[in-house]
Amino acid sequence: MITKETISKNEFDFSEGEVFLIDKDLGVTSFYIIKRLRKILGIKKIGHAGTLDPAATGLLVVCTGKKTKEIYKYQEKQKTYKGIISLGKTTPSMDSETEVVAEKETEHITAEQIETVRKSFLGSSTQIPPMYSALKHKGKPLYKYARQGIEIERKPREIVISNFEVNKIDLPDVYFKVDCSKGTYVRVLANDFGEKLGCGAYLKRLRRTAIGTFSVDDALTVDEIQEILN
């Protein structure tokens, strides 16, 4: 496992197989991270265990060489996120990537109402993946259909939210932490949170802080890796 504490260009064989903890920057895709690492490390076989949207930051587990066969192990692990749900506004992408299309008042929302809604998400439930996602339909990512105004039917997925904390309320913003299963879209959680409150909401900020026992505190940015290996 390559972290801040272990990285050294003389100790690893990237082609044979290594696992990186990467801290993804804001505004870039997960694929962009892989593309840069492929060039920096001089390898072709590399992949990540769980996409982060461009508007999100935080932990990516990246595998190279033969370790790419173990990506599924990391994909199955519980994910931890911290972020901000902004009440009273909705966007087509359910996050900050697209413009606000509707607004409602939030002054009447109480802490008690927010607490009731928070509790309602705990445990097992189903969630419909968003149109603005990398899921594919006929080989084409759903977000490409969404940008054309085309709606594709999606099947609900089973998810588990084992922990959901509201750490601060500063209307219209609700600061939260959530521990959830593979396949959970936090953007959809934010959207559904607003729907249950009757005012709408979108995901204003998101950072993945952990995947299983792996923490973003131990992760490297791509720029740090490039600087060290050069």
CA angle 39, 46, 22 (to 5 degrees): 80
The CB density around residue 25, as the number of other CB atoms within 10 Å, is: 14
Give the DSSP H/E element, type plus range, for residue 136: strand 136-137
Catalytic entry in 23, 53, 95, 192: 53
Task: Characterize 119-133 residue by residue with b for buried, 16 or more Cβ atoms within 10 angstroms of its Cβ, and e for exposed.
Answer: eebeeebebebbbbb
Give the contacts of 150 (CB within 8 A, at least 6 positions apart): none
How deeply is 177 buried, as exposed, middle or buried, from its count of CB atoms within 10 A (0-12, 13-18, 19+)?
middle
3-class DSSP state of 115: helix
Give the contacts of 5 (CB within 8 A, at least 6 positions apart): 218
Is 53 known to be catalytic? yes
User: For residues 196 and 8, what is the distance between their CA atoms, to the nearest angstrom?
Assistant: 49
User: For residues 217 and 6, what is the distance between their CA atoms, to the nearest angstrom?
Assistant: 13
Give the contacts of 75 (CB within 8 A, at least 6 positions apart): 49, 50, 182
Residues with active-site annotation: 53
